[in-house]
Amino acid sequence: MISFIHFADRVSAWYGKTFGWLILLMTFGVSYEVFVRYVLRSPTTWSLDVSFIMYGTLFMMGGAYTLSRGGHVRGDFLYRLWPVRVQGAVDFVLYLIFFFPGITALILSGWKYSARSWQYSEVSVNSPAGIPIYQFKTVLVAAGLLLFLQGIAQLLRSVIAMRDGVWIAAEEDVEETEQLLISEHEAQTQVTLDR
């Protein structure tokens, strides 16, 4: 069980971090659009669609990574007060009742939606550039499959929490900026006190 959890976490992390680089492409694309629109007075016809496609892809493909790191919003004002075994039982039930049916619907509906789009090489109607969007609709299926895989790992985590009373945490791979700043401040304060 634990090896599958770590495998799913690694897959989710790889996809999440890889697609996270779309932020740079989006930044350059929007900056280019601002430059040509306001400096050269020659706006592009494709920038808005491309930025929507990149942002949507980034958002969708990062979902499993966010799930693996416990980053999705949860109302834990009560949840955090419960014993770990109760948390595991609640998570287990909620994954079975809500998560898996919802993700299965996303995969199946996304499959039909993207297949139809591929059949007639759908393009965006939002701009005169006619940016192809059929490949973007395939992201629905890919993101759904990644979420399903990560959901199985989360379900196994809840089984271990119910059985052993401990949560199997994901590997730490990023640190919040505020934590870095606090650590730096504490280190500087310690150096000052040591003098």
Q: pLDDT tens-digit profile of 129-174? A: 888 989 999 999 999 999 999 999 999 999 999 999 999 988 777 6
Q: For residue range 90-105, what is the model confidence (pLDDT) as tens digits?
A: 999 999 999 999 999 9
- As a residue count, the chain comes to 195
Q: For residue range 39-57, what is the model confidence (pLDDT) as tens digits?
A: 999 988 888 888 888 999 9
Q: How many helices (H) and strands (E) does the chain have?
A: 9, 0
**Residue recorded with tokens 């759908």:** 122
